Amino acid sequence: MDKAKIRDRFFMLKPGSVSLAGDDIFDRKIRIVENGLLKVLDYRGLGDYYREKRNQFAAGEFWGKVMRASGVIYGYTGDRWLLEKMRVAVDDILSLQGPDGEISTAPKELQPNGSGGADLWERKYVMLGLLEYYRVISYCDEE
């Protein structure tokens, strides 16, 4: 057999295509996070740390952590409402970029060591959150 003709096949499952049994403890916990946190959380409020340059230690990391959780939960539930909330949050955070592309909670004069030394750490979480959103929209069927 000619190995050049063999191709690996990798694809993401469609959101909501896998389910843990309806009465399963994991499914219940996932639904608690989705409905009790992600659906009630003010995503724009998380962006306010960047918008207002609050310069508070590690506060900026939560935007990215919430986006990562939202992407994973969306992949499980397929809840289009959550996907839309992610899209709005991404549009918001991208609107907060500085002229050089930075997205930071620290005032320009304190970068990159602002926010009590957490500025670069927070930027990492913004990138991880943006990458999660990219993963979701790239590999999940949005139709």
Give the start-to-end residue ranges of the domains of the chain.
24-139
Enter the tokens of residue 118. 């957490």
Predicted local distance difference test score (pLDDT) of residue 2: 61
> Directed axis angle between helix 119-139 and helix 61-77, to 10°?
20
Environment class of residue 30 by beta-carbon count within 10 Å: exposed (0-12), middle (13-18) or buried (19+)?
Answer: middle
Task: Name residues whose C-beta falls within 8 Å of residue 85's C-beta, 6 or more positions apart in sequence.
Answer: 38, 39, 43, 70
Q: How many Cα atoms within 13 Å fall on the side-chain side of residue 112?
A: 8
- Judge whether residue 71 has pLDDT over 80: yes
Please state the rounded mean pLDDT for residues 103-127.
91
13-63 pLDDT tens trace? 788 888 876 678 898 899 999 999 999 999 999 999 999 999 888 888 999
The pLDDT score that the predictor gives to residue 32 is 94
pLDDT at residue 90, rounded to an integer: 97
Tell me the pLDDT band of 69, cut-offs 50, 70 and 90.
very high
